[in-house]
Chain A
């Protein structure tokens, strides 16, 4: 009798707990949806506004491509875009070379590697604005070097390198160095070992390092504000126009929509590369 009662009580507890678990799970999913909405709602709304007749009211409808026509008729954004693309390409190449050179060795030198990783990642613990201020004081005031294109490339590289390095490390961490030994036993020289064995196997990581470098540079703002010299990159242009109250603002919606779509596409390609490399 008491056993049955205890069993019933246990059942009740179990049922209450599973109901609570279901509730907790529903709550977690709801939070996740809220998060995704917070991240992508603005992007979607921005795209919607860029094809609306009166974007500054924040309300969609009547739809039109007039803003895009105006955008292409008034190409003041073309120079900043080309500057940004140029810088991003250089940063991307620099990232691929350095992240490969460092990333292929780092997992195989034990504790030193872990410490060095910390040294490279430490810039992620400093807000971008501070880094911009630090750099401008050191290079322009202390060393007396003029800021300009080089300082933008440098700042973007410092920002992108840790991500590029992590991209290469994801793949390099799984690289079996015995492959290089076998290649050597078979008589392959240093350069052939790298070109025919290491590089193809690390390629997904190297490629994603390049993508990361390109995208992070293309959209970098806080460091650029300080280190721009006389150069205007696309984010600087967008930032200045977006916080102003000029007639350019609706055009910025269209421009930002296009850049965001392009960046999303490139990110997905990069992640697929990395994922394929990681799975292999």
Chain B
């Protein structure tokens, strides 16, 4: 009898599936995760085009701080953080309406599609157009001049920090909306009803029911927009021009100049910052005790 039970439980798994998963995981760890870890090692040794010199040194890190590369890192973090905050302000109300306010199925599908498609579109195609639009003779400047609001074209509309901030909003909006939306749609409508029934005002419901329950999604949204934004190399290059150098551009300059040690050190630094952010968020989630629901959200 017990033999049959074992036989059955073995069958419950798809045939040979475990073997495939095992092999693929090993290959993935060796081919993908190992190079990521390797960069941390490379940042502590001398790397040149000829190869590695395996003597421990902190030169690369010293160079980051001495040559002003630290400023590029700090600027990138500042811009990414600001844009993430703006995105959060725009996305939360929108996601809440999408998850709990909108009833029409047709519109839901339309908006979901609109929010998903950008993941598969080329960033360059969407960013390049801002150049003529925001330019000196562009429609915005000439429109404002025709209205008599300004006398001279605004020079800061293009190749400036405000332009980069603005340009980053569109491409990264779906990264923020999706996780928040997923966490909001998981909240049981009954909980919101119950909160209303016991006399909570809409704001109290938002503050004490919806906000804590959607926190995993909000934090995931912050990660999924902040992290890729750190590495953005389209917006800064195309509409930031020479004025706003960000990490993506700085990294390319380093690799082009064969300065691998410093590139490795900057990469390791960013990895450390991302890991620290991740850790903070995991700790925050543990305090709320809702860490598991994100995985469930992903599986939905």
A133 to B114: give the CA distance in the assembly, Å. 32
The secondary structure that dominates the B interface is: helix
B150 contacts A by Cβ under 8 Å: no
CB distance from B285 to the nearest CB of A (A): 14
A74 contacts partner chain B, Cβ-Cβ < 8 Å: no
| Interface contact B247-A31, CB-CB below 8 Å | no
A105 close to B121 (CB less than 8 A): no
The number of chain B residues with a CB under 8 A from chain A is 102
Residue of A nearest to B96 (CB): A28
Residues on B with beta carbons closer than 8 Å to the beta carbon of A35 = 90-91, 94, 173, 177
B47: A residues at CB distance < 8 A: 137, 141
In the bound assembly, the distance between CA atoms of A58 and B153 in angstroms comes to 14
Stretch among A1-9, A65-73, A75-83, A114-122 lining the B interface: A114-122
Closest B-chain residue to A135, C-beta based?
B35
The distance in angstroms between the C-alpha atoms of A219 and B118, with both chains bound, is 11
Chain B 109-148 interface 0/1 with A at a Cβ cutoff of 8 Å (1 = within): 1011110111111111111111111110111001000000
Given contacts A59-B138, A163-B119, A238-B122, 10 further A-B contacts (CB under 8 A): A42-B170, A46-B125, A98-B24, A105-B20, A137-B263, A193-B15, A219-B123, A221-B123, A221-B233, A226-B252
- Whether A181 touches B11, Cβ cut-off 8 Å, given contacts A104-B17, A119-B25, A128-B231, is yes
Q: Are B94 and A46 in contact (CB under 8 A)?
A: no
Contact with A along B78-102 (1 / 0, CB 8 A): 0000000000011101101110010
What is the number of contacts between chain A and chain B, taking CB atoms within 8 Å?
276
Q: A: which residues have CB within 8 A of B?
A: 17, 20-21, 24-25, 27-29, 31-32, 34-36, 38-43, 45-46, 49, 55-59, 98, 101-102, 104-109, 114, 116-117, 119-120, 122-131, 133-139, 141-142, 154, 158, 163, 166, 169, 173, 177, 180-181, 184, 190, 193-194, 198, 212, 215-216, 219, 221-222, 225-226, 235, 238-239, 242-243, 249, 252-253, 256-257, 259-260, 263-264, 266-268, 271, 275
Establish whether residues A219 and B120, one from each chain, have CB atoms under 8 Å apart when the complex forms: yes
- One of B133, B233, B263 near A225 (C-beta < 8 A): B233
Complex alpha-carbon distance, A109 and B121, angstroms: 35
Contact B139 A59 (CB under 8 A): yes
Q: Are A21 and B128 in contact (CB under 8 A)?
A: no
Q: Looking at the complex, which one of B38, B170, B177, B227 makes contact with A126 (CB distance below 8 Å)?
A: B227
